[in-house]
Amino acid sequence: MKKLTLFFNFYFLAKLHRMKPITKINRRRFLKTTGIGLAGLPLATNAITKITSGDKIRVAHIGTGNMGSSHIRWFSAFPDVETVALCDVDKLRLNDAKKLLQSRNPTANPDLYSDFRYIIDRKDIDVVTCATPDHWHALVAIMAFESGKDVYGEKPLSYSPREGQVMLGAMKHHNRIFQLGTQIHAGENYHRVAEIIQSGALGKINTVRLWKTGGTKGLGFPPNETPPEHLDWDMWLGPAPYSEYTPVKCHGTFRSFFDYSGGVFADFWCHIADIMYMSVSPENLTSIDARGEVPDDGIADTPKWIDVDFKFKDLDVFWTTKPPQVPNAENMHIGAHFEGEKGTLTCDYENRIIKIGNETFSDLPEVPKTLPRSPGHQRNFLDAVKSRNQPESNLEYARKMTLPMHLALISFRLKRKLSWDSTREEFKNDSAANFLLARKYRSPWKLPDY
């Protein structure tokens, strides 16, 4: 109800003054300037200012494990960022996070929370970064958008395709900024690969092969345990189905379980599918055919290996767990191989090998640099927070890029080829597959409608 009132206040204010709904950053400064509450708003709109270069962006980090620690390190290094709050459902991790932040910035004095809703409710926070397990990504982002915050969210974008749709709707509705944490996107190599492919030097690209070696390990058959005192297991589970606690389901290996993620495939898809989307923007996906196996040596249930054939308009895409049988691929643990009418390009995060006829190149100097380079993935996001123009790995782009991964996992689980209607975003003639596009949240959590 409080949220609703807040929204209506914004709405009427915006309407009254024929302007875009004011952003939270503006409102915070406005409140500071005038020292009055929402009731007095219409009288003092002149005081609303845009964020200026001197302002600090107030950041809170939700989820402070492995990736969350990187978030703390990355963001605390920016002079225009003030890290004001940290949140983790594990108190040990939270304390470590505080120590980490203070080792970087001795004057930092972040507020510590084990429930992210305290951060959502705070009016003085501009940005949240989210490095929770996958099944929390969507709800944290949506609630942040609703409370007027911008989000730097870890990959994969969401747990289910439906969540991706709602995230996009919420972000647009609330005029927020979102960057997916695919930091490799910002590197020089991906920008250069995209330029070379888009230049047409390799001719029209008809096939892309993507791969990532390795898969889910079984993790054995550990007994269930009482969750440790320092961990709020129920909050960790959040919208996911209730489950007894065992350590391997939680920190570090949660991606091995379909209840929370989709294995190594879900983890790495967006890093390498990213270069395909940057370069050739595949459109109109029509079929997905996945094969693979789950481990037989433990409770983990995501793919030990997975191979997928995707059919897009004028483009075949193959995902494999082993490197494909193409030159130079065997030594890359992750990679993309583009096959064009005139040549091929094989790349990973840092390297690219171009083959035209019998000749091999690492670059084609005649292809001009046309794409603006990223100032760094997090900087790109912070600039977007200020400029209100979406960053490179924005939600619309990230959602499009993430979707085939989800669909492939549904094909893997159902063990059948699926036909996809990319306009309606649903499977053709397969109600069970469509059922798996969304998951009902465990009470009291609810995925809103947008």
Partner 1 sequence: MKRILALAIVLAFSIGGFSQEHKQFISLFNGKDLTGWTMPGEVPGFEVIDGIMVAEPSNGSDIFTNEEFANYIFRFEYLLSEVGNSGVLIRCNHENPWETGVEVQLLAPWTPYRDDLHCTGSLYGHVAVTNRPDETTGIWHQMEIRCDRNLITVSVDGQVTTKANIDTVESMKNKHISGAIGFQSNHSKKGESARFRNISIRNLDLEPEYVKAGFFEEDARYRKPAHEAALKIGAPMIEPLAQLLSAKSPVAQSGAKQVLFDLVAESTAPDSSGTKKDAVAKSLEKSLRNCSEAVASQHLEWLLKMTKSEN
- Least gap, CB of 232 to partner 1 (angstroms): 18
Tokens of 224: 């269930």
Residues in 245-264 that interact with partner 1 by CB under 8 A: 246
In sequence order, what DSSP letters do the residues of 244-297 get, joined into one string?
A: -B-GGGSTTTGGGSTTT--HHHHHHHHHHHHHHHHHH------EEEEEEE--SS
- Least gap, CB of 215 to partner 1 (angstroms): 16
Give residue for tokens 């990532």: 212
Examine residue 432 and tell whether it contacts partner 1 (CB under 8 A): yes
Candidate segments 215-223, 332-340, 341-349, 367-375, binder of partner 1 by CB under 8 A: 215-223
Residues in 194-213 that interact with partner 1 by CB under 8 A: none
Candidate segments 62-70, 181-189, 216-224, 356-364, binder of partner 1 by CB under 8 A: 216-224
Residues in 116-175 that interact with partner 1 by CB under 8 A: none
User: Which residue lies nearer to partner 1 by CB, 5 or 243?
Assistant: 243
User: Which residue lies nearer to partner 1 by CB, 19 or 432?
Assistant: 432
Examine residue 224 and tell whether it contacts partner 1 (CB under 8 A): yes
Q: Is 89 exposed, middle or buried (0-12, 13-18, 19+ CB in 10 A)?
A: buried
Count CB atoms within 10 A of the CB of residue 326.
Answer: 15
- Least gap, CB of 220 to partner 1 (angstroms): 9
Examine residue 429 and tell whether it contacts partner 1 (CB under 8 A): yes
Examine residue 390 and tell whether it contacts partner 1 (CB under 8 A): no
On whether the CB atoms of residues 259 and 243 are closer than 8 A, the answer is yes
Number of amino acids touching partner 1 (CB under 8 A): 27
Question: In whole angstroms, what is the distance from residue 280 CA to residue 315 CA?
Answer: 9
Examine residue 435 and tell whether it contacts partner 1 (CB under 8 A): yes
- Least gap, CB of 437 to partner 1 (angstroms): 10
Examine residue 413 and tell whether it contacts partner 1 (CB under 8 A): yes
- Least gap, CB of 242 to partner 1 (angstroms): 6
Examine residue 114 and tell whether it contacts partner 1 (CB under 8 A): no
What proportions of the chain, in percent to the nearest 5, are helix, strand and coil? Answer: 40, 20, 40
Kindly tell me which residue out of 115, 244, 350, 396 binds partner 1, with binding defined by CB under 8 A: 244
Strand 334-340 and strand 343-347: the pairing is antiparallel
Candidate segments 119-127, 148-156, 237-245, 348-356, binder of partner 1 by CB under 8 A: 237-245
Question: In whole angstroms, what is the distance from residue 174 CA to residue 146 CA?
Answer: 6
DSSP conformation class of 78: S
Residues in 277-336 that interact with partner 1 by CB under 8 A: 294, 296-299, 301
Examine residue 97 and tell whether it contacts partner 1 (CB under 8 A): no
- Least gap, CB of 434 to partner 1 (angstroms): 6
On whether the CB atoms of residues 364 and 354 are closer than 8 A, the answer is yes
Q: Please, which residues bridge with residue 58 across strands?
A: 82
Examine residue 431 and tell whether it contacts partner 1 (CB under 8 A): yes
Examine residue 221 and tell whether it contacts partner 1 (CB under 8 A): yes
Examine residue 222 and tell whether it contacts partner 1 (CB under 8 A): yes
Examine residue 415 and tell whether it contacts partner 1 (CB under 8 A): yes
Q: What is the dihedral of CA 396, 215, 407, 186, to 10 degrees?
A: 10
Count CB atoms within 10 A of the CB of residue 171.
Answer: 24
Reference 322, options 303, 299, 341; nearest CA is 303
∠ CA 235-152-186, rounded to 5°: 140
Catalog residues that contact partner 1 under the rule CB under 8 A. Answer: 221-224, 241-244, 246, 294, 296-299, 301, 413-416, 429-432, 434-436, 440
